Amino acid sequence: MFLINDFIALLAANLILTQALGTSTLFIAANSRRNLLRTAFVITVFTVFGSIGAYFADRLLPEKYSDLRLLIYTALIGILYVIFLSALFFISREKFEKSRKYIHISAFNCAVMGTLFTINHRAAGDSSFMNLKSYAAAGLEAGFGFILASLILTAAYRKLNSAKVPASFRGFPAMLVYLGIISMAVYTLK
Amino acid sequence: MNNRKSTVFAGILGENIVLSSLMVISPVIVCGNTLKNAEALIYAFNSITFLSVFISSFVPRKIPYALKVIIYALISSIVYIPVRMAASEFFPDSITRIGIYYPLLAVNSLIVFQSEAKLFRMKRGKMTASLFFYILGFDAVMLITGFIRELFAFGTINGKIVDIDTTISGLSQPFGGFIFLGIMCGVYRKIRAAAYRNYNDKRGGADVSDK
Protein backbone atom coordinates (compact mmCIF):
# COMPACT_ATOMS: atom_id res chain seq x y z
CA MET A 1 0.00 0.00 0.00
CA PHE A 2 2.88 2.35 0.87
CA LEU A 3 4.47 1.60 -2.48
CA ILE A 4 1.24 2.39 -4.32
CA ASN A 5 0.91 5.65 -2.39
CA ASP A 6 4.51 6.56 -3.21
CA PHE A 7 3.99 5.68 -6.85
CA ILE A 8 0.87 7.85 -7.04
CA ALA A 9 2.71 10.71 -5.31
CA LEU A 10 5.58 10.37 -7.78
CA LEU A 11 3.14 10.45 -10.69
CA ALA A 12 1.23 13.43 -9.30
CA ALA A 13 4.46 15.39 -8.77
CA ASN A 14 5.87 14.41 -12.15
CA LEU A 15 7.24 17.53 -13.83
CA ILE A 16 6.79 16.20 -17.37
CA LEU A 17 3.22 15.01 -16.98
CA THR A 18 2.00 17.94 -14.89
CA GLN A 19 4.11 20.87 -16.10
CA ALA A 20 5.50 19.60 -19.43
CA LEU A 21 9.03 20.37 -18.20
CA GLY A 22 11.63 18.43 -20.18
CA THR A 23 9.24 17.16 -22.83
CA SER A 24 11.51 18.30 -25.70
CA THR A 25 14.47 16.49 -24.13
CA LEU A 26 12.35 13.38 -23.66
CA PHE A 27 11.50 13.41 -27.36
CA ILE A 28 15.09 14.09 -28.44
CA ALA A 29 16.23 11.07 -26.46
CA ALA A 30 13.26 8.93 -27.45
CA ASN A 31 14.77 7.50 -30.61
CA SER A 32 15.98 4.44 -28.72
CA ARG A 33 15.24 2.78 -25.40
CA ARG A 34 18.90 2.87 -24.37
CA ASN A 35 19.21 6.58 -25.23
CA LEU A 36 16.10 7.39 -23.27
CA LEU A 37 17.12 5.57 -20.10
CA ARG A 38 20.71 6.88 -20.19
CA THR A 39 19.49 10.44 -20.71
CA ALA A 40 16.99 10.01 -17.87
CA PHE A 41 19.77 8.74 -15.60
CA VAL A 42 22.10 11.66 -16.46
CA ILE A 43 19.24 14.14 -15.96
CA THR A 44 18.62 12.64 -12.52
CA VAL A 45 22.27 13.20 -11.64
CA PHE A 46 21.97 16.83 -12.84
CA THR A 47 18.71 17.48 -10.95
CA VAL A 48 20.10 16.05 -7.70
CA PHE A 49 23.45 17.88 -7.76
CA GLY A 50 21.83 20.97 -9.29
CA SER A 51 19.27 21.08 -6.47
CA ILE A 52 22.00 20.82 -3.86
CA GLY A 53 23.82 23.74 -5.51
CA ALA A 54 20.54 25.66 -5.84
CA TYR A 55 19.98 25.31 -2.10
CA PHE A 56 23.20 27.19 -1.32
CA ALA A 57 22.47 29.76 -4.06
CA ASP A 58 18.96 30.39 -2.67
CA ARG A 59 20.27 30.74 0.87
CA LEU A 60 22.95 33.21 -0.12
CA LEU A 61 21.06 35.27 -2.71
CA PRO A 62 19.13 38.22 -1.22
CA GLU A 63 15.53 38.48 -2.47
CA LYS A 64 16.11 41.92 -4.03
CA TYR A 65 18.61 40.29 -6.44
CA SER A 66 16.21 37.52 -7.49
CA ASP A 67 16.61 38.55 -11.16
CA LEU A 68 20.12 37.11 -10.93
CA ARG A 69 18.82 33.67 -9.97
CA LEU A 70 18.73 32.39 -13.55
CA LEU A 71 22.32 33.51 -14.12
CA ILE A 72 23.46 31.77 -10.95
CA TYR A 73 21.58 28.56 -11.78
CA THR A 74 23.01 28.61 -15.29
CA ALA A 75 26.54 29.05 -13.94
CA LEU A 76 25.87 26.21 -11.50
CA ILE A 77 24.69 23.82 -14.20
CA GLY A 78 27.62 24.96 -16.39
CA ILE A 79 30.06 24.02 -13.63
CA LEU A 80 28.38 20.62 -13.14
CA TYR A 81 28.45 20.09 -16.90
CA VAL A 82 32.21 20.68 -17.04
CA ILE A 83 32.83 18.54 -13.93
CA PHE A 84 30.82 15.58 -15.31
CA LEU A 85 32.47 15.78 -18.73
CA SER A 86 35.97 16.06 -17.18
CA ALA A 87 35.30 13.22 -14.72
CA LEU A 88 34.05 10.96 -17.49
CA PHE A 89 37.06 11.90 -19.67
CA PHE A 90 39.56 10.98 -16.96
CA ILE A 91 37.75 7.81 -15.89
CA SER A 92 37.54 6.30 -19.37
CA ARG A 93 38.02 7.79 -22.83
CA GLU A 94 35.83 5.09 -24.30
CA LYS A 95 32.97 5.85 -21.92
CA PHE A 96 33.47 9.56 -22.55
CA GLU A 97 33.02 9.11 -26.31
CA LYS A 98 29.94 6.93 -25.77
CA SER A 99 28.24 9.02 -23.10
CA ARG A 100 29.11 12.65 -23.75
CA LYS A 101 26.09 13.20 -26.01
CA TYR A 102 23.80 12.30 -23.09
CA ILE A 103 25.56 14.87 -20.92
CA HIS A 104 25.27 17.50 -23.69
CA ILE A 105 21.48 17.14 -23.99
CA SER A 106 20.97 16.67 -20.25
CA ALA A 107 22.63 19.84 -19.01
CA PHE A 108 20.70 22.86 -20.25
CA ASN A 109 17.07 21.99 -20.65
CA CYS A 110 13.70 22.65 -19.03
CA ALA A 111 13.84 19.38 -17.09
CA VAL A 112 16.90 20.44 -15.09
CA MET A 113 16.41 24.23 -14.96
CA GLY A 114 12.65 23.80 -14.42
CA THR A 115 13.34 21.50 -11.48
CA LEU A 116 15.55 24.12 -9.83
CA PHE A 117 12.96 26.86 -10.31
CA THR A 118 10.10 24.62 -9.15
CA ILE A 119 12.02 23.74 -5.98
CA ASN A 120 12.83 27.42 -5.41
CA HIS A 121 9.15 28.26 -5.88
CA ARG A 122 8.17 25.58 -3.35
CA ALA A 123 10.73 26.83 -0.83
CA ALA A 124 9.49 30.40 -1.26
CA GLY A 125 5.98 29.27 -0.34
CA ASP A 126 6.93 26.94 2.50
CA SER A 127 9.88 27.90 4.72
CA SER A 128 10.09 24.38 6.22
CA PHE A 129 11.21 23.22 2.77
CA MET A 130 14.30 25.44 2.92
CA ASN A 131 16.85 22.80 3.88
CA LEU A 132 19.43 20.76 2.04
CA LYS A 133 17.64 17.45 2.53
CA SER A 134 14.37 18.71 1.04
CA TYR A 135 16.15 20.27 -1.93
CA ALA A 136 18.13 17.08 -2.67
CA ALA A 137 15.02 14.91 -2.19
CA ALA A 138 13.02 17.14 -4.56
CA GLY A 139 15.83 16.93 -7.12
CA LEU A 140 15.86 13.14 -6.84
CA GLU A 141 12.07 13.03 -7.12
CA ALA A 142 12.18 15.13 -10.29
CA GLY A 143 14.82 12.80 -11.74
CA PHE A 144 12.78 9.71 -10.88
CA GLY A 145 9.77 11.43 -12.42
CA PHE A 146 11.73 11.86 -15.66
CA ILE A 147 12.78 8.19 -15.58
CA LEU A 148 9.15 7.17 -15.01
CA ALA A 149 7.94 9.32 -17.91
CA SER A 150 10.71 7.81 -20.05
CA LEU A 151 9.55 4.30 -19.18
CA ILE A 152 5.93 5.21 -19.96
CA LEU A 153 6.97 6.62 -23.34
CA THR A 154 9.31 3.72 -24.08
CA ALA A 155 6.48 1.25 -23.48
CA ALA A 156 4.48 2.67 -26.39
CA TYR A 157 7.33 4.03 -28.51
CA ARG A 158 7.27 1.28 -31.15
CA LYS A 159 3.50 1.41 -31.58
CA LEU A 160 3.44 5.20 -31.83
CA ASN A 161 6.02 4.98 -34.62
CA SER A 162 4.49 2.02 -36.44
CA ALA A 163 3.23 2.13 -40.02
CA LYS A 164 -0.32 1.65 -38.71
CA VAL A 165 -0.34 5.25 -37.47
CA PRO A 166 -1.16 7.75 -40.28
CA ALA A 167 2.07 9.28 -41.65
CA SER A 168 1.23 12.81 -40.48
CA PHE A 169 0.68 11.67 -36.90
CA ARG A 170 3.44 9.09 -36.72
CA GLY A 171 6.17 9.81 -34.16
CA PHE A 172 6.15 13.15 -32.33
CA PRO A 173 2.44 14.06 -32.80
CA ALA A 174 1.31 10.62 -31.62
CA MET A 175 3.75 10.81 -28.70
CA LEU A 176 2.33 14.20 -27.69
CA VAL A 177 -1.25 12.89 -27.75
CA TYR A 178 -0.14 9.79 -25.82
CA LEU A 179 1.59 11.90 -23.16
CA GLY A 180 -1.54 14.09 -23.04
CA ILE A 181 -3.71 11.07 -22.25
CA ILE A 182 -1.28 9.89 -19.54
CA SER A 183 -1.16 13.47 -18.21
CA MET A 184 -4.97 13.50 -18.09
CA ALA A 185 -4.93 10.31 -16.02
CA VAL A 186 -2.36 11.86 -13.67
CA TYR A 187 -4.46 15.02 -13.40
CA THR A 188 -7.29 12.96 -11.93
CA LEU A 189 -4.93 11.64 -9.23
CA LYS A 190 -4.09 15.12 -7.94
CA MET B 1 11.29 30.40 -54.57
CA ASN B 2 14.97 29.59 -54.82
CA ASN B 3 16.87 27.49 -52.28
CA ARG B 4 18.47 30.45 -50.56
CA LYS B 5 15.13 32.14 -49.94
CA SER B 6 13.45 28.90 -48.90
CA THR B 7 16.18 28.31 -46.28
CA VAL B 8 15.68 31.78 -44.83
CA PHE B 9 11.88 31.42 -44.66
CA ALA B 10 12.08 27.80 -43.42
CA GLY B 11 11.51 28.88 -39.83
CA ILE B 12 7.86 29.66 -40.52
CA LEU B 13 6.69 26.47 -42.24
CA GLY B 14 9.34 23.93 -43.25
CA GLU B 15 11.37 24.00 -40.02
CA ASN B 16 9.00 25.53 -37.52
CA ILE B 17 10.78 25.22 -34.17
CA VAL B 18 7.67 24.17 -32.24
CA LEU B 19 5.80 21.99 -34.71
CA SER B 20 8.72 20.48 -36.59
CA SER B 21 11.51 20.25 -34.03
CA LEU B 22 9.34 20.27 -30.88
CA MET B 23 11.54 22.90 -29.25
CA VAL B 24 10.21 25.32 -26.61
CA ILE B 25 7.04 23.25 -26.21
CA SER B 26 6.71 23.40 -22.42
CA PRO B 27 5.54 27.05 -22.31
CA VAL B 28 3.24 26.44 -25.29
CA ILE B 29 1.62 23.46 -23.56
CA VAL B 30 1.27 24.99 -20.10
CA CYS B 31 0.97 28.76 -20.64
CA GLY B 32 -0.43 28.91 -24.18
CA ASN B 33 -4.06 28.71 -23.05
CA THR B 34 -5.06 32.36 -23.51
CA LEU B 35 -4.17 35.13 -25.94
CA LYS B 36 -2.84 37.31 -23.11
CA ASN B 37 -0.45 34.55 -22.03
CA ALA B 38 0.54 34.07 -25.66
CA GLU B 39 1.36 37.78 -26.00
CA ALA B 40 3.44 37.70 -22.81
CA LEU B 41 5.34 34.63 -24.01
CA ILE B 42 5.90 36.17 -27.43
CA TYR B 43 7.38 39.33 -25.90
CA ALA B 44 9.70 37.31 -23.65
CA PHE B 45 10.72 34.76 -26.28
CA ASN B 46 11.29 37.30 -29.06
CA SER B 47 13.45 39.66 -27.05
CA ILE B 48 15.48 37.03 -25.21
CA THR B 49 16.04 34.77 -28.21
CA PHE B 50 16.85 37.45 -30.77
CA LEU B 51 19.31 39.34 -28.55
CA SER B 52 20.92 36.20 -27.13
CA VAL B 53 21.48 34.49 -30.48
CA PHE B 54 22.73 37.70 -32.09
CA ILE B 55 25.22 38.36 -29.28
CA SER B 56 26.23 34.68 -29.15
CA SER B 57 27.07 34.76 -32.86
CA PHE B 58 30.17 36.79 -31.92
CA VAL B 59 31.54 33.99 -29.73
CA PRO B 60 34.63 32.50 -31.45
CA ARG B 61 33.82 29.17 -33.12
CA LYS B 62 37.15 27.57 -32.13
CA ILE B 63 36.12 27.24 -28.48
CA PRO B 64 35.23 23.63 -27.45
CA TYR B 65 31.54 22.77 -27.90
CA ALA B 66 30.75 22.31 -24.19
CA LEU B 67 32.21 25.71 -23.31
CA LYS B 68 30.34 27.38 -26.16
CA VAL B 69 27.05 25.92 -24.92
CA ILE B 70 27.75 27.27 -21.42
CA ILE B 71 28.67 30.69 -22.83
CA TYR B 72 25.44 30.82 -24.90
CA ALA B 73 23.38 29.91 -21.83
CA LEU B 74 25.18 32.53 -19.74
CA ILE B 75 24.65 35.21 -22.41
CA SER B 76 20.92 34.47 -22.55
CA SER B 77 20.76 34.51 -18.73
CA ILE B 78 22.31 37.98 -18.78
CA VAL B 79 19.96 39.15 -21.56
CA TYR B 80 17.05 37.83 -19.46
CA ILE B 81 17.76 40.37 -16.67
CA PRO B 82 16.97 43.60 -18.60
CA VAL B 83 14.13 41.89 -20.49
CA ARG B 84 12.51 40.89 -17.21
CA MET B 85 13.13 44.32 -15.71
CA ALA B 86 11.47 45.95 -18.73
CA ALA B 87 8.57 43.50 -18.46
CA SER B 88 8.03 44.28 -14.79
CA GLU B 89 7.97 47.98 -15.73
CA PHE B 90 5.69 47.83 -18.78
CA PHE B 91 3.85 44.46 -18.58
CA PRO B 92 3.87 43.53 -14.88
CA ASP B 93 1.05 41.00 -15.34
CA SER B 94 3.06 39.02 -17.86
CA ILE B 95 5.60 37.86 -15.27
CA THR B 96 3.03 36.35 -12.94
CA ARG B 97 1.18 34.84 -15.88
CA ILE B 98 4.16 32.96 -17.25
CA GLY B 99 5.71 32.16 -13.86
CA ILE B 100 8.71 29.84 -13.92
CA TYR B 101 8.49 29.52 -17.71
CA TYR B 102 9.82 33.08 -18.04
CA PRO B 103 13.41 32.22 -17.04
CA LEU B 104 13.15 28.86 -18.79
CA LEU B 105 12.67 30.66 -22.12
CA ALA B 106 16.24 31.90 -21.72
CA VAL B 107 17.66 28.39 -21.88
CA ASN B 108 15.53 27.26 -24.80
CA SER B 109 16.96 24.82 -27.33
CA LEU B 110 17.00 27.40 -30.14
CA ILE B 111 19.51 29.51 -28.22
CA VAL B 112 21.59 26.76 -26.65
CA PHE B 113 21.73 24.03 -29.32
CA GLN B 114 20.01 24.94 -32.59
CA SER B 115 21.95 28.17 -33.04
CA GLU B 116 25.23 26.25 -32.95
CA ALA B 117 23.99 23.44 -35.18
CA LYS B 118 22.37 25.62 -37.82
CA LEU B 119 22.32 29.41 -37.45
CA PHE B 120 26.00 30.08 -36.72
CA ARG B 121 27.03 28.21 -39.85
CA MET B 122 25.41 30.94 -41.93
CA LYS B 123 26.71 34.42 -42.71
CA ARG B 124 25.52 37.00 -40.19
CA GLY B 125 23.00 38.68 -42.49
CA LYS B 126 21.38 35.42 -43.52
CA MET B 127 21.52 34.18 -39.93
CA THR B 128 19.68 37.27 -38.70
CA ALA B 129 16.98 36.85 -41.35
CA SER B 130 16.62 33.12 -40.58
CA LEU B 131 16.47 33.82 -36.86
CA PHE B 132 13.75 36.39 -37.49
CA PHE B 133 11.65 33.81 -39.32
CA TYR B 134 12.28 31.09 -36.71
CA ILE B 135 11.00 33.52 -34.10
CA LEU B 136 8.05 34.43 -36.32
CA GLY B 137 7.25 30.72 -36.63
CA PHE B 138 7.12 30.43 -32.84
CA ASP B 139 4.94 33.55 -32.59
CA ALA B 140 2.46 32.19 -35.14
CA VAL B 141 2.12 28.87 -33.30
CA MET B 142 1.79 30.66 -29.97
CA LEU B 143 -0.96 32.98 -31.24
CA ILE B 144 -2.92 30.19 -32.93
CA THR B 145 -2.63 27.99 -29.83
CA GLY B 146 -3.58 30.81 -27.46
CA PHE B 147 -6.54 31.85 -29.62
CA ILE B 148 -8.04 28.38 -30.14
CA ARG B 149 -7.46 27.14 -26.59
CA GLU B 150 -8.89 30.30 -25.04
CA LEU B 151 -11.92 30.21 -27.33
CA PHE B 152 -12.79 26.58 -26.65
CA ALA B 153 -11.62 26.36 -23.02
CA PHE B 154 -13.06 29.59 -21.64
CA GLY B 155 -15.40 30.80 -24.40
CA THR B 156 -13.53 34.10 -24.64
CA ILE B 157 -11.24 35.89 -27.08
CA ASN B 158 -8.62 38.05 -25.39
CA GLY B 159 -10.75 38.07 -22.24
CA LYS B 160 -13.98 39.09 -24.02
CA ILE B 161 -16.89 36.66 -23.79
CA VAL B 162 -17.90 35.11 -27.09
CA ASP B 163 -21.21 33.44 -27.89
CA ILE B 164 -20.04 29.83 -28.11
CA ASP B 165 -22.22 26.81 -27.26
CA THR B 166 -19.65 24.25 -26.23
CA THR B 167 -16.57 24.79 -24.11
CA ILE B 168 -13.97 22.14 -23.26
CA SER B 169 -12.43 23.24 -19.97
CA GLY B 170 -9.74 20.52 -20.14
CA LEU B 171 -8.19 22.36 -23.08
CA SER B 172 -6.82 24.95 -20.66
CA GLN B 173 -4.99 22.27 -18.65
CA PRO B 174 -1.52 20.91 -19.48
CA PHE B 175 -3.02 17.61 -20.72
CA GLY B 176 -5.24 19.61 -23.07
CA GLY B 177 -2.11 21.43 -24.24
CA PHE B 178 -0.35 18.13 -24.96
CA ILE B 179 -3.26 16.75 -26.95
CA PHE B 180 -3.92 20.02 -28.79
CA LEU B 181 -0.27 20.43 -29.73
CA GLY B 182 -0.11 16.82 -30.89
CA ILE B 183 -3.10 17.34 -33.18
CA MET B 184 -1.73 20.68 -34.39
CA CYS B 185 1.61 19.02 -35.11
CA GLY B 186 -0.09 16.33 -37.21
CA VAL B 187 -2.12 18.89 -39.16
CA TYR B 188 1.04 20.96 -39.70
CA ARG B 189 2.84 17.95 -41.15
CA LYS B 190 -0.04 17.31 -43.53
CA ILE B 191 -0.01 20.95 -44.68
CA ARG B 192 3.78 20.96 -45.00
CA ALA B 193 3.77 17.75 -47.03
CA ALA B 194 1.06 19.17 -49.33
CA ALA B 195 2.87 22.51 -49.69
CA TYR B 196 6.16 20.88 -50.61
CA ARG B 197 4.41 18.46 -52.97
CA ASN B 198 2.81 21.39 -54.79
CA TYR B 199 6.15 23.18 -54.88
CA ASN B 200 7.88 20.12 -56.33
CA ASP B 201 5.06 19.50 -58.82
CA LYS B 202 5.50 23.05 -60.12
CA ARG B 203 9.22 22.46 -60.48
CA GLY B 204 8.62 18.97 -61.88
CA GLY B 205 10.74 17.60 -59.07
CA ALA B 206 10.51 14.40 -57.08
CA ASP B 207 8.02 13.86 -54.26
CA VAL B 208 8.97 14.95 -50.76
CA SER B 209 8.56 12.32 -48.09
CA ASP B 210 6.66 13.25 -45.00
CA LYS B 211 9.06 12.67 -42.15
What pLDDT digit, counting tens, does each position of B29-53 carry?
A: 999 999 999 999 999 999 999 999 9
What letter represents residue B182's amino acid? G
Residue A88 and residue A96 in contact, taking contact as beta carbons nearer than 8 Å: yes
In chain A, the residue whose alpha carbon lies closest to the alpha carbon of B71 is: A78
What pLDDT digit, counting tens, does each position of A89-124 carry?
A: 888 888 788 777 778 888 888 889 999 999 999 998
Q: Spell out the residues 6+ positions from residue A164 whose beta carbon is closer than 8 angstroms to its own.
A: none
Max CA separation in chain A (angstroms): 56
Residues 79-138 of A with CB under 8 A from B: 81-82, 85, 104-105, 107-110, 113-114, 117-118, 121
Q: Which pLDDT does position A20 carry in this prediction?
A: 87
- Closest Cα of chain A to B89: distance in Å? 14
Q: Which pLDDT does position A175 carry in this prediction?
A: 92
A14 in contact with chain B, both atoms CB, cutoff 8 A:
no
What pLDDT digit, counting tens, does each position of A10-58 carry?
A: 777 788 888 888 888 888 777 677 777 788 888 999 999 999 999 999 9
Interface mutation target, options A89, A119, A172, A178, chain B, most CBs of B under 10 Å = A172
Identify which of A27, A113, A121 has the shortest CB distance to residue B107: A113
Q: Which pLDDT does position B211 carry in this prediction?
A: 36
For the cut 80, the answer to whether the pLDDT of residue B9 exceeds it is: no
3-state secondary structure of B161: strand
Query: Of A22, A33, A170, A30, whose CA–CA distance to A109 is shortest?
Result: A22
Contact state of B186 with A121 under an 8 Å Cβ cutoff: no
Q: Which chain B positions have a beta carbon within 8 Å of A67's beta carbon? A: 80-81, 84-85
pLDDT band at residue B205, thresholds of 50, 70 and 90?
Answer: very low
Q: Which pLDDT does position B206 carry in this prediction?
A: 43
Phi, psi of B209, deg, nearest 5:
-75, 150
CA–CA gap between residue A148 and residue A7 (Å, rounded): 10
What pLDDT digit, counting tens, does each position of B177-190 carry?
A: 999 999 999 999 99
What pLDDT digit, counting tens, does each position of B58-108 carry?
A: 999 889 888 999 999 999 999 999 999 998 888 788 788 888 899 999 888
Contact state of A24 with B22 under an 8 Å Cβ cutoff: yes
For the cut 60, the answer to whether the pLDDT of residue B209 exceeds it is: no
